[in-house]
Structure 1
Amino acid sequence: MTVVDDALAPAPWRPGFATTDPDHAAQVIRDSYQISRGVRMPARPEDFHFAQQMQDGDGFALGRFRCPSPIGYRGPQGGVYCIDQVYRGRVGFLTSRHDLRAVAGEVFLVPNDEPWEAATDDVDVAGMMLDRERVAAYAASVSGSEDLTFTGLDPVSPGAAHFWDATVAHVRDTVLDDAVARESPLVQGEAFRMLAAALLTTFPNTARAAEGGRVPRVEPAVVRRAAQFMDEHAHDAIGLEDVAAAARVSPRALQMAFRRHRDQTPLEYLRRVRMARAHQDLRDGDPTRGDTVAEIAARWGFGNAGRFSGEYRRVHGCSPNETLRR
């Protein structure tokens, strides 16, 4: 395993489920992590407690659990790639080809193409799961490799491990923890592509090898900084110059980066973010309190209510007035 010099920083802990019943915990683990061949709980259930948080996205899910007791597992996991980050304790996976041991501060890819036996002991572990078919389709689109195979479970470098951790943290904090972003297909799609690109960049695989160790179209930091700035300031009167300044590049360079990596301009992205926020406000609105389509549209920078209504219908398949009155 690659040992990261500085242990990966633990994410905020917000358990959504807790139990002292081993059988209940086993069922939750099987369902949440798609473990196909069973979960083995400790022999002394009176000492047992288990807590988990789970956040779902479109094509991805981030789970995290804590359990001081030893647990055994038999995989593989169905239909997903799972990348685990260990915050505490010990994790082991044994297959016909791999004998993997991980401790706090390490990140690894769970074996995905063969049966495995696994064990955890006194752990705090987070696992990002990505839909396998969608990852394969993304890999084919960016590298031309039709047969995606991961050739190792360890990150290609400590820097790659930190890159993966930073990508997961960004998606967790700006997509999974944001009610508007969770409702936006655009934001969800971008988050999945970001995670898929980070997965292909972090772990050795045939798509990466086909590109000489480089996966194309991984967004540069300038695009991510600009997108994050627009996500956070969509309610403000910002323009291209403001976004470029936040991204620390010229407006022209930012335009070119967005065109290359997102096939849109920065202001087109901003308009879509604002449309998503307007959609959320319409869903949350109440006409009996005086909420109107025109007021909500203006709040998000759409000065012409008629034009907003036409654009909204193209995106959401119904009128904004229909959404407001549901």
Structure 2
Amino acid sequence: MRKRFSEGSPIASTVVTGDDFDELESTFQAFLAPDTVKLDTRAPTGFFDISQLSGLRIAGIDPNGLSVYELALDTDVVLHGEETPDAYTVLVTISGRNQTLIGREVTPSRHVLTGPDTRFQTRFEHPDILMLRVGKQLVADAMRERLGEARASTPRFDPAIAETSGMGQWITLLHTFSETAASGLFDRSPLAAEHFEKLLLHGLLDTQPHSLSGELAAERPRPKSSAVRRAMTYCQEHAAEPVSIGELAMAARTSVRALQLAFRTELGLTPMEYLRRIRLDHVHQDLVAIAQGRAEGSVTDVALRWGFTHLGRFSGFYRETYGKLPSETARLTA
């Protein structure tokens, strides 16, 4: 049995390992719906190992996050269960075999995607599997970012992952992500991990068919002009600093009037509205970190840190963007 990660990496770690299949069942119940998960094995004498390669050290799933695991079994088991209402799971088979039933339908693929509240039965035969867990809210936020507005429902993905050229490339990307996380590089560069996670998430939305694929294809934007790209980059790199429209125009190498027109034409908003969105995203991430115990501070501290001095107006912007008050995000439990 392989250890895919460096023992020196504080991110990569063993979740559970051994031959106590009751413990393995309890682990799956921590990830999924406890009242529905059952694990059956004809000969509970084998060995198993679940290792977390990336993501937060929490039980279950972070609705706003993404994590990757490796599951290795040297025996045959059948897992009956139900996905939680706030997560998606992608199973990519490295070796061995598995067969999954979604409801009563056999999924004709060795790679499978289950969505929120999906009931399933998977028969594992000595598998080595990469398991990607993605929070439902993270998917919803990505769709809002892509389409410009929130949708009433999150995507319902096709459960069978066909190894087309696009999905084949995405699976290769997942392998690369897991190996990079296991190496410890993401421990030293959280920004690199964040960019890689977004690449995985948006790649999945673009390549695996789902109920909103048509909207993504219809809304796919034209390439942005170089001036707008330069201004967007400046906003992202200087979001924590005072930024004026004049500075943005200088960074974009154009006039203020031309930049404002380009932003309205290409993005449907002003340069300063775009900067506000960037800052709100940083606020949201900081509040989630406070809620999960990874950071300390108050809503006021976070708002002021990212340049929002009018707290009433800030709360309105935040609620309009995320559907809740900033104080509600800060109280969420991981």
Which range, TM-score by smaller chain? 0.5 to 0.7
Q: Cα deviation per residue 1:283-311 (whole Å; 9 max; x = unaligned)?
A: xxxxxxxxxxxxxxxxxxxxxxxxxxxxx
2:19 is matched with which residue?
20
Contact 1:176–1:182 under 8 Å retained in 2: no
Q: Is 1:207 aligned to residue 206 of structure 2? A: no
* CA distances 1:200-249 after superposition (whole Å, capped 9, x unpaired): 012111332113378669xx9xxxxxxxxxxxxxxxxxxxxxxxxxxxxx
Relative to the length of structure 2, the TM-score reads: 0.55
Aligned twin of 1:115? 119
Confirm or deny: 8 A CA contact 1:145 1:206 kept in the other structure. no
How far, CA to CA, are the matches of 1:122 and 1:80 in structure 2? 26
The equivalences for 1:29-178 within 5 A come to 29-31=28-30, 33-36=31-34, 37-45=36-44, 47-57=45-55, 59-78=65-84, 79-96=86-103, 98-103=105-110, 107-143=111-147, 144=149, 146=151, 147-155=153-161, 158-175=164-181, 177-178=183-184
Q: Offset of 1:163 from its aligned partner?
A: 2.2
Rounded Cα–Cα distance in structure 2 between residues aligned with 1:51 and 1:208: 35
> How far apart are 1:43 and its partner, in Å?
3.6
Q: CA deviation at 1:64?
A: 1.1
Question: Comparing 114-123 with 128-137, which one deviates more in the overlay?
Answer: 114-123
C-alpha contact (below 8 Å) 1:151/1:204 kept by paired residues = yes
The corresponding residue for 2:197 is: 192
Question: Any conservation in 1 of the 2:95–2:129 contact (CA below 8 Å)?
Answer: yes
CA displacement at 1:123 relative to structure 2: 0.9
Measure, in 2, the Cα distance between the counterparts of 1:53 and 1:257.
45
Q: Distance in 2 between matches of 1:18 and 1:142?
A: 40
Q: CA deviation at 1:259?
A: 2.8
Q: Is the contact between residue 87 and residue 115 of structure 2 (CA under 8 Å) also seen in structure 1? A: no
Change (3 A) 1:189 1:69: same
User: Equivalents in 2 of 1:167, 1:206: separation in Å?
Assistant: 23
Instruction: Decide whether aligned partners of structure 1 residues 18 and 130 sit closer, same or farther in structure 2, where only a CA change above 3 A counts.
Output: same
Distance 1:214 1:178, change over 3 A: farther
The normalised TM-score by structure 1 is: 0.56
Q: Give, as a single letter, the amino acid of the residue that structure 1 aligns with 2:124.
A: T
> Shift of residue 159 of structure 1?
1.1
Tell me the amino acid that sits aligned with residue 66 of structure 2: F
SS of aligned partner of 1:81: strand
Letter in 2 for 1:259: R
> Shift in Å at residue 126 of structure 1?
0.9
Contact 1:69 1:121 (C-alpha < 8 Å) held by counterparts: yes
Q: Evaluate the alpha carbon distance shift between residue 157 and residue 55 of structure 1 in structure 2; reply closer, same or farther with a 3 A threshold.
A: closer
1:51-71, Cα deviation, whole Å (9 max, x unpaired)? 221123261111111113222
Distance in 2 between residues matched to 1:183 and 1:35, nearest whole Å: 34
Shift in Å, 1:133: 1.1
Question: Could you tell me which residue of structure 2 aligns to residue 3 of structure 1?
Answer: none
Q: Quick one: distance in 1 between partners of 2:179 and 2:219?
A: 27
1:65–1:126 contact (8 Å) kept in structure 2? yes
Q: Distance in 1 between matches of 2:115 and 2:104?
A: 10
The AA in structure 2 aligned to 1:75 is G
**Offset, 1:22:** 1.2
- Separation in structure 2 between the aligned mates of residue 266 and residue 167 of structure 1, nearest angstrom: 28
Structure 1 residue ranges (4+ consecutive) displaced by more than 6 angstroms after TM superposition: none
1:182 to 2:152 alignment: no
Structure 1 residues without counterparts, runs of 5 or longer: 1-10, 221-252, 270-313, 316-326
Match of 1:259 in 2: 229
Deviation at residue 109 of structure 1 after TM alignment: 1.3
Distance across 2 between alignment mates of 1:34 and 1:145: 26
Deviation at 1:44, TM superposition (A): 2.7
Q: What secondary structure does 1:44 align onto?
A: coil
Give how far 1:86 is off: 0.5
CA distance in 2 between counterparts of 1:142 and 1:267 reads 17
AA of the residue aligned to 2:133: M
SS for the counterpart of 2:160 is coil
Native 8 Å contact 1:93 1:119 kept in 2:
yes
Gaps of 5+ in 2: 6-12, 57-64, 239-304, 307-334
